[in-house]
Amino acid sequence: MSNTRNKADVEYAVMLAVLNFQKEFMQSHYSHVQVRLLENVIEVDLTRTSPIPAEVRLAQAPEGCGQLRQIHQALFTTGHDMLKKHIEEILGEQIYNIVTDLEPLSGRSTIVIQIDQAIDSSV
């Protein structure tokens, strides 16, 4: 990771990359994004701008929640290579794993990015 950027710069760049991916590939819009850089993990929490009525109705049943999670994960997996490449460019580090989960009732999405080496604590 570049020594000329601080933690806030990296968090902001990751936030923009995730929002761009969500908007262009997933066709989802979020009003709140929180990025946390930990040792070798980046956590991104996203809160939707507005709920999708069909998803709200489907999430009212336990099996519907499971279906929404599966769909969200499958959609994310089909295009996550684009996001992975962009974040690797930002970090200058290889990403070991990238996963997502959706909380169907709230519409909150979480992305966890694991990188091979610990993020420099001076960033």
Q: What is the pLDDT of residues 6-41, one digit of tens each?
A: 888 989 999 999 999 998 998 888 889 999 998 889
- Cβ atoms 118, 37 nearer than 8 A: no
CA–CA separation, 92 vs 89, rounded Å?
5
Domain count, the chain: 1
Taking phi over 0 as left and psi of -120 to 50 as alpha, with beta for the rest, 107 belongs to left
In a domain, 80, yes or no: yes
How much is the pTM? Answer: 0.86
Whether 72 is in a domain gets the answer yes
pLDDT in tens, 72-98: 999 999 999 999 999 999 988 899 999
Neighbours of 34 (CB within 10 A): 12
For residue 122, being part of any structural domain is answered with no
Q: Which domain holds residue 87?
A: 7-115
